Structure 1
């Protein structure tokens, strides 16, 4: 077992303001106790208040946010821009994400009509209530409290560039076009690791203003969303099928593992930036 460490760096950062809509690539992002600032702060719900995603409505991939100083602007083909004030909400509501019923705020009739028109069924947009305490599964966090907004279950997703490189080699061998990392909706993309080395790193320490420590707690089991082309909203089942050929993981019910869910141990209020150095204990059995 090596007692050394692995050194890498942040290659890319992504914030996804509206759950299951396109992400925004940023050069820097502030860490909050629920992950990167504004990540999954908004969510689309159906008439019963239950969340909807690209799993049901692949055209959500075509909704492209832009983060400005005081607002998030949403654009989609054939639609006028929808401006969301970061500091404004309307009526309090209860909504459901997976098995959690959580407090939120409705974003009003204009936003509801915008999503209804674009996606073709009655929908509303909601904002997470910052007073809500929605925790990650303590089975995976080792009992530590880790809060989320509207992420599926953990505040951060970490993925190495080389994992995507390996997938694209396999796609090419099967006669398929390469895919971009946006399909996998990471928050932090790491450079310079062997493919899937992030699976074996228990924690990351990032050289921000004050040290940031992340704990990698659970492999990310992939649903069909990576099959959705972010540019067109079209579904190509071969992406997940290829992953299942070599990334099936029985620890997560036989799903394809791609990336690691992470929780924040320390560093609330610190700013992550592309290019920052990242240190991690060497994986067991590694000589790196």
Structure 2
């Protein structure tokens, strides 16, 4: 079975629902349009589904002029891409940068939907945010993803995890969908967990560095259709994928684009591992 790109996923608004694409443009900081919008609290700190589970129920779409967002039982919100001159300070994990404020109308809509004061911001210039120097290069950049431009997962690893979930529950727990893990690219035609060993991989015409495994958080325990919580997949990952006090699923990628020029990838593209390390070490924690 050939190794191919099974699906592509973009998340226009951080922590909200994603969309599956037939093709996507890879930019130095991630997929075009991926996680360029974000909600922050009144002090400018990022808000995610970790603390606001209802974010998972919001359905964002990019439009020609900005962003459209749907919420259960609400009329949709249309937001124009804000003026880049209207910058406000924001904080996302260890990153402190600025983003463009979307304005009072969108802030009020989101605050009403989520039941607390929030502001909507747009990252007009992703070159403002470097990746962690512990795992990336000095000129690596990322949009508003947690840490790195893209996340890859494999269908085989999800199937192996679901075998453990079903065994633990004695068949009572439904198989977990890939949407629990919010990857940008999903690869088919591999053995389970081989992505741990990747260091450079080509997807279509785009080449990526695999820089760090992805330690999983409480968001994966939330049903993406209802935002209700449970114990899986963390409980099963803790049995088979626990290292350094964390549980791991998926690998973070950084594009290595020739001259920084964007490249289009398409579902069905060939995936080729260009460099890997011997198997058995677990996920990348760091690579150097």
Tell me the TM-score normalised to structure 1 length: 0.89
1:182 is aligned to 179
Q: Does 1:230 align with 2:224?
A: yes
What secondary structure is seen at the aligned counterpart in 2 of 1:231?
coil
CA offsets per residue over residues 104-150 of structure 1, 9 Å max, x none?
01111111111101111000110013165211112212x35210111
2:238 is aligned to 244
What secondary structure is seen at the aligned counterpart in 1 of 2:273?
strand
2 CA distance for matches of 1:89 and 1:179? 40
2:156 to 143, 153, 162: 162
2:49 is aligned to 54
1:3 is aligned to none
Deviates more, 1:240-249 or 1:35-44: 240-249
1:276 is aligned to 269
Displacement of 1:280 after TM fit?
A: 0.7
Q: Structure 2 matches for 1:110-259, cutoff 5 A?
A: 110-130=105-125, 132-141=127-136, 143-175=137-169, 176-207=173-204, 211-250=205-244, 254-259=245-250
CA offsets per residue over residues 7-30 of structure 1, 9 Å max, x none?
621101000111111111111111
Q: Does the C-alpha gap of structure 1 residues 132 and 200 become closer, same or farther in structure 2, counting only changes over 3 Å? A: closer
Q: Does the C-alpha gap of structure 1 residues 241 and 125 become closer, same or farther in structure 2, counting only changes over 3 Å? A: same
Matched pairs, number: 274
What secondary structure is seen at the aligned counterpart in 1 of 2:151?
strand
1 CA distance for matches of 2:73 and 2:63? 22
Q: Does 1:39 align with 2:41?
A: no
CA contact (8 A) 1:215 1:262 kept: yes
Displacement of 1:285 after TM fit?
A: 4.3
2:257 is aligned to 266
Runs of 5+ consecutive residues of structure 2 not aligned to the other structure: 280-288
2 CA distance for matches of 1:87 and 1:29? 23
CA contact (8 A) 1:7 1:279 kept: no
CA offsets per residue over residues 199-229 of structure 1, 9 Å max, x none?
111111123xxx3110101000111110111
What secondary structure is seen at the aligned counterpart in 2 of 1:236?
coil
Tell me the TM-score normalised to structure 2 length: 0.89
Q: Does the C-alpha gap of structure 1 residues 60 and 217 become closer, same or farther in structure 2, counting only changes over 3 Å? A: same
Q: Structure 2 matches for 1:18-37, cutoff 5 A?
A: 18-37=13-32
Displacement of 1:272 after TM fit?
A: 1.0
What secondary structure is seen at the aligned counterpart in 2 of 1:140?
coil
Root-mean-square deviation (Å): 1.9
2 CA distance for matches of 1:108 and 1:21? 19
Q: Does 1:66 align with 2:61?
A: yes
